[in-house]
Structure 1
Amino acid sequence: MINSMKPLLGLKAGTEPRQVSDRLKYSPDVFEFFTNENDFTPEGLKRLEYDIQWVKADATSKIVLHHPMRYKNEFTELVAPEKKFPKLHKFIYQSAENLLQFAFDYNIQVLVHGSYARHTQFFIDMYPNLENARQSVFDQLDELASWGQEHIMFENSISPIFYYGNTSEENDILERGYRLAFDTSHCFIKCRGDNKLFQNSLEHLKDKVVHYHLVDSMGGKKHDSLPLGQGRIDWAEALPLLNPKATSIYEINLSNQADAKEQVESHKFLSNLYERSK
């Protein structure tokens, strides 16, 4: 295994003090905050800024702020038509602006989903066709990219919009010059569990990927978010295809949100694989 990326200890947490404190005891190389709607009240923004300062002081300056996934129980889908969902649209952009302000102030990163999956088709059906819906999302990503510059990245989905696992779709994304976040499970699911197709995507997009969500999957339709080694991804083949300049975190479903056990175990799995391959 030549030129493999030495695995970074990348941990994810919400803004609750118990979660942040738990992650910091491991001295992570990368820290990703998974924000939610409550983090965008005046008090929530103060807490988030405090947490950013806390992580920078105690562990790492490699911090990613994950754009909130939901607003009023609806997914923060860029494809949602503004005229029909004005409050959702306003929250998506206001929260992105709040996070980008922190990103510029503290020299950290913001991650925005190009799409999700669960309600995407519901919104797509409000457009004349898929291509119109897709173009709307690209137009908005272009705008956000101009706002965020070197402080924003866009993550792949398992929906029909903004996904990895298809060369034509990937070429359209690459043409726009976006900085990319690569979720391994989302891509593997789009590749229907085909490791060769998955590896092709890793290689094709490698130079534009600035951040990875490392997570295993069975490659079925279900978004399973498994610890590394418990799914069907061939990590020995995948590891050399990761961009060594990128950051990464282990985005694993936790049995207890205040305990990063499954994330840490995934790091041990990948680190052991890396050591054996040297």
Structure 2
Amino acid sequence: MFVTRFAPSPTGYLHRGHAFSALTAHGAARAVDGRFLLRIEDIDATRCRPAFEAAIHEDLAWLGLSWETPVRRQSEHLDDYHGALAALEARGLLYRCFRTRREVADEIARAPHGAMEVFRGRPLPPGEEARRLAANEPFAWRLSLDAAERALGGFQDLTFVEEGAGEPRVVQARPELGGDVVLARKDVGVAYHLAVVFDDALQGITHVIRGADLAEATHVQRLLQALLGLPTPTYRHHRLLTGPDGRRFAKRDRAQTLRELRAAGMTPADLRREMGFD
């Protein structure tokens, strides 16, 4: 059965871009009598707020969408993600990285091709790592691409199906383009990449329908699926909705929210027509 999801983070109010993505996924599920799930990706306790989560439910209901219950909230399942993290660590696929974000950026900038390079690191010598741990220095768990490549015998068999451009096509995954990504950090806990592949597998997601801005994330997520023995969904990255200025709608740019549109008198039918759904 076709199963898809809309998985927002409650770090702000939903805007037109979110509505477009939710309607696209919901419509795809309804077209084939499939299932549509709502998932709340609230693992970043530093930015997520209960008021934003409540507003997500309110806005989606206003749009006329329905979803299965109970809704999975990632913050209620942190042990699941830490278990997956521990499994990777036990196989030597992770290492502790004590570099700050600024130090990582500086190291990338010093590389031969500057900003075109990505970060690739390695574990510290045991003595130095023990000293820094004893000093309670903060660190992030990074996925070692070198170790992952050895474990899989290379990345040549990592592929996924992309349907976003119409005809399905097989894409060769290129996890090396992302470098050694962070999978956990003390301030925000387990990272998005790990939680999302775990949940997609657990919930039986067959089709991941999301914006083209997340297409790059698919490459490292495909790698994690292989390392954790998880199934790979079909991906469908849709176009990004843009405003009159040509820029995509984004929380950080204070895009007009659905709450504001509703307060201004716009109806769900108006919004659907504006976005080409009716």
Q: Same fold (TM over 0.5)?
A: no
After TM superposition, the score normalised by the length of structure 2 is 0.31
Task: Tell which structure's C-alpha radius of gyration is larger.
Answer: 2
TM-score scaled by length of structure 1: 0.31
Larger RCO (alpha carbons 8 Å, 6+ apart): 2
